[in-house]
Structure 1
Amino acid sequence: MPLLSRKSAGIVTGGALGRIGPLEVRLARDAAEIAAAQEVRFRVFYEELGARRQLVHAIEQRDADRFDDVCDHLLVFDTSLPGPDTSKIVGTYRLLRQERAAVAGGFYSTDEFELDALVARHPGVRFLELGRSCVLPEYRSKRTIEVLWQGIWAYVNHYEIGVMTGCASFHGTVPARHAEALSYLAHHCRALPPWDVRAVEDRYCAMDLMPAEAVSMRSAFASMPPLIKGYLRVGAKIGEGCVIDHDFGTTDVFIVLPVTAIVSRYLTYLNNEAERFAA
């Protein structure tokens, strides 16, 4: 995997890691920017999508948990907006490296999927968990996703990540409402045995709700959330079973993306964009 020295410098200094038009991506530099990202997450997860609120959420108006302190926070800024950087955040991703997960007592996803078993099968590979993906409604476009991936790719190169993992969600807690999309994932997008992950036993829900011959690839793909479609286009695969998250009101699937499995055309794009930005 090529290491991009200027990109690596951006990781260390908090400099920009990618840019498309007025959108710029970099890591959070301080606690104020992390708090602003948590406020964006609150607006999307709680105010827009109806996640279950606790008293602390009502008081602080932020989505926060114990993992925030050990994660890096990738932020997208609309530099055309007025005011300080904290008021320009329009998207965020939470990045949890394997060595930082050890400090936190494990990965976030282990409550839903048997990620520890996967990590144990690959002792020489460095894992990165992607989570809390969040983009404000007016910025949910291909351009925002692309600039986020510029930042992720710079991060992956800098830390020599071997595989990206994490949960991705369908809205709602009734898997049958997403029967065709979930069935398509189960029949056509499952991870191969070396990278397969199963939902934890007491939370396991079947995904193969329709027979393969009854599933239309076109309509199944069209009904998937943009984040899941984006992962599939890059080359990601899906673990076995889905999990209902009642707190966030979602049905979660598990994403597995070894860096070596990223499709060649997208890998070329990422490297070209990284070199262009570094030049």
Structure 2
Amino acid sequence: MIALRKGRYIAREARDEDDLAAACALRARAFALAGAQDRDAHDDRCTHILIEDTTDGALVCAFRLFAVRGADLADSYAAQFYELSALEAYEGPMMELGRFCVAPDRRDPDILRIAWAALTDYVDAHDVQLLFGCSSFAGVETDRYLDAFAMLRARHLAPKRWLPRVKAPDVFRYAAKLRRKPDVRKAMMRMPPLLRTYLMMGGWVSDHAVVDHQMNTLHVFTGLEIGAIPAARKRLLRALV
């Protein structure tokens, strides 16, 4: 069971239906969705991690984890949008990270730090070798993110042997369409924080973005092979555990 503390924050696993309901309510707020909760059929099979502020008891961050072997990929959330048959040959344990969100009124970087520490603890405990998920850009308009997508194309595309293929009906094939040299400053300003962290650790992405009108996002499949994380970054993450 995860139970970590950093400063005023504590990370723990959800224990009951009330915890899950609180996480789903936070997701609805963070993703600006209609309704009191964001909940789907994947929630019941996942482990949910909550980050709470010990000074007021507020839930400030939540995400869910789903342990996967090759044959289980079809049951993952990402498989709804990406053709993942290439990854079925991946031999090691995999884990899907999903619905990562931070309360809209919170900007403390310690929240992201303890979230990654909790994730590192879980990955180590379960010998996870590949972490994957969908990294989202807010909105469905591509123009404001062209430098970010150009940088993904230039530096961060998935290895060909693991590259997800197109499955969703509405996609932006940025790797095929963009030939511009990215403005690095603009690219990093537009890059979602979660994706930025993945990339700093050596993560890679699909060659297309899915246009998800239901969630009002553009998202890319994101993979991170744990063995490829630079040693210095591993030490930083594990220092928090």
Q: Percent identity?
A: 29
1:37 corresponds to 2:7: no
Residue of 102, 105, 108 corresponding to 2:77: 108
Aligned to 1:28: 14
**DSSP 3-state at the match of 1:139:** coil
**Cα distance in 2 between the residues matched to 1:35 and 1:201:** 29
CA 1:106/1:225 → structure 2, altered by over 3 Å: closer, same or farther? same
Name stretches of at least 5 consecutive residues in structure 1 with no aligned partner.
Answer: 1-10, 83-87, 275-279
Residues 1-279 of structure 1: pairs in structure 2 closer than 5 A:
11=1, 15-16=2-3, 18-46=4-32, 51=33, 53=34, 57=35, 61-81=36-56, 88-98=58-68, 102=72, 106-115=75-84, 117-122=85-90, 124-200=91-167, 202-208=169-175, 209-213=177-181, 215-274=182-241
Amino acid at match of 2:44: D
User: Does the 8 Å CA contact 1:205/1:241 hold for their aligned counterparts?
Assistant: yes
Residue 126 of structure 2 aligns with an amino acid whose one-letter code is Y
Query: Which amino acid letter does the alignment assign opposite residue 68 of structure 1?
Result: D
CA distance in structure 2 between the partners assigned to 1:237 and 1:246 by the alignment:
24
Of structures 1 and 2, the larger Rg is shown by 1
Shift of 1:25: 0.7
- TM-score of the pair, normalised by structure 2: 0.92
Q: Which has the higher helix share?
A: 1
Q: Deviations over 1:79-134 (max 9, x none)?
A: 1105xxxxx211001111116x94x961011111122x133121x21110111011
TM-superposed deviation, 1:201: 5.9
CA–CA separation in structure 1 for the residues paired with 2:238 and 2:7: 18
What is the root-mean-square deviation in Å for CA atoms of aligned residues? 2.0
Q: Is the 8 A contact 1:184 1:212 kept in 2?
A: no
- Farther off after superposition, 263-272 or 248-257: 263-272
Which secondary structure state, in structure 1, belongs to the residue aligned with residue 236 of structure 2? helix
TM-superposed CA distance for 1:224, in Å, is 1.2
- Asked if the contact 2:87–2:162 (Cα under 8 Å) also holds between the matched residues in 1, the reply is no
Corresponding letter in the other structure for 1:218: R
**AA at the equivalent of 2:22:** A
- Whether the aligned pair in 2 keeps the contact of 1:95 and 1:129 (CA below 8 Å) is yes
Q: Deviations over 1:185-210 (max 9, x none)?
A: 11211111233223326333211454
Give 4+ residue runs of structure 1 displaced > 6 Å after superposition: none
Is the Cα–Cα contact under 8 Å of residues 74 and 92 in structure 1 kept in the other structure?
yes
Q: Distance in 1 between matches of 2:209 and 2:184?
A: 19
Q: What one-letter code is carried by the residue in structure 2 that aligns with 1:42?
A: A
Distance, in Å, in 2 between the alignment partners of 1:190 and 1:132 is 22
SS at match of 2:41: coil
Equivalent position SS for 1:62 = coil
Q: Provide closer, same or farther for how the CA distance between residues 79 and 201 of structure 1 changes in structure 2, counting only shifts above 3 A.
A: closer
Shift, 1:142, TM fit: 2.1
Distance (Å, rounded) in 1 between the aligned partners of 2:225 and 2:109 = 22
> What is the distance in 1 between the residues matched to 2:230 and 2:170?
32
Q: What is the CA deviation profile of residues 25-62 of structure 1, one whole-angstrom value per residue up to 9, with x for unaligned ones?
A: 1111111111111111111113xxxx4x4xxx3xxx11
Bigger proportion of residues as strand: 2
> Which consecutive unaligned segments of at least 5 residues does structure 2 have?
none
Which letter maps to 1:203? D
